[in-house]
Structures are given as structure tokens and as C-alpha cells.
Amino acid sequence: MMVTGNWTQEILEAYIQDQVEESLTLEYKSGEALGLGSQRYKEIAKDVSAMANSAGGLIIYGIREGDTRETRHRPTEFRPVNRQECTKETLEQIISSNIQPRLSNVKIYPVALNSDPNHVVYIVKIPQSDTVHQVIRNKRYYKRFNFESVPMEDYEIRDVLNRISHPEVESRIGHMSYLETAAGNRWAIPIFAKNKSLTVAKDTAITVEFYDLQPIHNVQAERFRTKTRPKPNQNDMYIATFSEAVHRGMWKYFGTFYVTIPEPQSFSFRVQVFADGMRAKWWRIKLNFGETSATIQMQDEGYLY
């Protein structure tokens, strides 16, 4: 489920109903996280800076995640923010004054709830940064890992600082569409790459390895080719290359996978991106297919070396 800025209570209710799980780029916070108290400054700064230091994403303040093992990291109900305790302007001020260097282009979308005039949900949209950001109160740097904000290692801080001097090519999934067939919906999964760095990327390659798929899914690849013939119990791996230069902000199309989904289900795959002068990076992505819709979740990321 991808939404850019036209947030409504109905859209947030769909997040809860569809059990859209937290991921590398999505986090839920109960409204109490923005309540009055000295700790909110540190926690807000930690969570927002961690998102910027990683892949960017959304923090939704006003939705509670579950307490049990089965519902942990999944939204369960509204637990709204009290406007009298935290206005949009207050949240903006906390973010701007407790993180250094200051973050730019952070967007806050308030959504009023019909349960009470003072009930609101704040969606904070945080772009990935070209530098590394520190929490002023404890002088620490954080990143997103396994659904949490955790301290960064020294080499990770240097990696973020190198985003300006080295290519930073990331995988992207385009708009997924489907055709109805007798065997089920035939989904098209287009794969793109985007350069986030000021440095031009050359000789870019992407590999894709699927998990959880069976012969019934009838996977076919357009522009991707099989990299290796797997041994028993191994997954297929596909590769596509792009020899032209990829400049900052450019999206390049690498190919499309077609998968038949006979009934609602989820599956994961691993994407690896390579380019000259860049540390090879991987992402684990989960796709959730419903009757007529699909959502994308970033589960984890890391470097190959």
C-alpha cells in the first residue's frame, strides 16, 4: 500500500484491517509516544534520525502495534495523539531542534479522527539522507534494523558519509498490475534501480532470488536471465545488467517478473545491486498479494562485503 500525501482516516483503517506489518521503512507508534514528558524528545529524535540514516520511510504516530507474538509489529487499533499535548508545530520543532545536522524535506501529515476533536494521527515522511544524523541529547547515531532503531557501528557511519562520493544505487519495484487467468491472477512485478548519490553509477547489475515460490506460480522473466542453474533445494537466481550511466535521481528499468497467484498469499525475495565504485548491497522484500491488491514491505538490508 503506497500513499504519497492524501492521507485519510479510511486509509489508516485499511492499514489496520490489512495488517500491514512494520518494516525497514514503516513504523507504528502509539500516541503516548508524543505525550508530555522529557523522554519524548530523545525517542522522537532517535526514531526519525534512524529512518533518515537508513532508507527513509514513514513513522505513523497514533496507531498501536500488537502485544502478542502473533501481532507484534502489526497494527491493531488507533491509539491517537492528543492535540493538546502535541501539535504538528510542536512535533516539527522537536525534530528540528534535537537532530544534527538538521533534517530537510521531512513532511508531517496530520489526520483528524472522528472519535474526538482532539484525536489525531501524525504521519511523518522522512527521506533518506545524503549524510549521517546524530541525536543531540546523547550524541549517538542510529539506524533501522529488524523493525527497531539501534546504534550504528563506526563503519556504518562512514558508509552513509560515502553516499556523496560513491554511487548509491537502490532497487525499486514499480507499479504492480495483474490479469485474471483461469489459474489465478497473473501479476507483473517490474524492477527498477535508482541512483541516490551525486556520483554517476556505471555498469549496474541487479540479481533477484525468490523464496517460497512453487511450480504452480509459473515464474517468467522479461529481460532478466537465469544466472545459475540451482541445485536441489536452492532458489532460482536471475540477473539483469545496464551498461549506460545512471545519474542522480534517475530511474532505470531492468525487467519484469510475471507470477501467477492462485489465492491471497505472501512471498519474499532478495535483491542485490552492483555498480562500479559501490559496495554491493542487498534487500529482502516481502510482497503481500490480496484478491485485487498488493503491498510491498522492506524487511531487511545489508552489504555483501
pLDDT 10s digits, 102-152: 998 899 999 999 999 999 999 999 998 878 999 999 999 999 987 889 999
- Backbone φ, ψ for residue 168 (5° rounding): -135, 85
The ranges of the chain annotated as CATH 2.60.40.10 are 169-303
> Who contacts 207 (Cβ-Cβ below 8 Å, separation ≥6)?
227, 237, 238, 239, 271, 272, 274
Confidence of residue 230 (pLDDT cuts 50, 70, 90): low
The ranges of the chain annotated as CATH 3.30.950 are 9-161
Q: What is the pLDDT of residue 1?
A: 46
Interval 163-173: pLDDT, tens: 667 788 989 89
Q: What is the pLDDT of residue 66?
A: 85
Return the higher-pLDDT residue of 84 and 37. 84
* Percent of the chain with pLDDT strictly greater than 70: 95
Least confident of 18-27, 86-95, 262-271: 18-27
Contact assessment for residue 49 and residue 142, using Cβ atoms and an 8 Å cutoff: yes
CB neighbour class for 43 (10 Å; exposed up to 12, middle 13-18, buried from 19): middle
Contact assessment for residue 77 and residue 67, using Cβ atoms and an 8 Å cutoff: no
Assign domain 9-161 one CATH number from 3.40.50, 1.10.10, 3.30.950, 1.10.3470. Answer: 3.30.950
Torsion of CA 217, 223, 229, 233, to 10 degrees: -30
Residue 267 grid coordinates: 512471498
Q: What is the pLDDT of residue 2?
A: 44
| 3 state DSSP class of 66 | coil
Q: What is the pLDDT of residue 4?
A: 45
How far is it, in rounded angstroms, from Cα 86 to Cα 55? 27
Interval 156-204: pLDDT, tens: 888 777 766 778 898 989 999 999 999 999 999 999 998 887 788 999 9
Kind and range of the H or E run holding 159: helix 154-161
pTM: 0.64
The number of CA neighbours under 13 Å toward the Cβ of 105 is: 8
Q: Is the pLDDT of residue 277 over 60?
A: yes
Q: Is the pLDDT of residue 51 over 70?
A: yes
Q: What is the pLDDT of residue 236?
A: 81
> Who contacts 247 (Cβ-Cβ below 8 Å, separation ≥6)?
195, 200
Q: What is the mean pLDDT of residues 243-262?
A: 90
How far is it, in rounded angstroms, from Cα 20 to Cα 26? 9
Q: Considering just the CA atoms, what is the radius of gyration of the chain in Å?
A: 20
Q: What is the pLDDT of residue 220?
A: 94
Of the ranges 51-55, 243-247, 253-257, the best mean pLDDT one: 253-257
Q: Is the pLDDT of residue 9 over 90?
A: yes
- DSSP characters for 29-92? E-GGGGSSSTHHHHHHHHHHHHHHHTT-EEEEETEEEPSSTTTTTSEEEE-PEETTT--HHHHH
CATH architecture for segment(s) 169-303: Sandwich (2.60)
How far is it, in rounded angstroms, from Cα 51 to Cα 246? 25
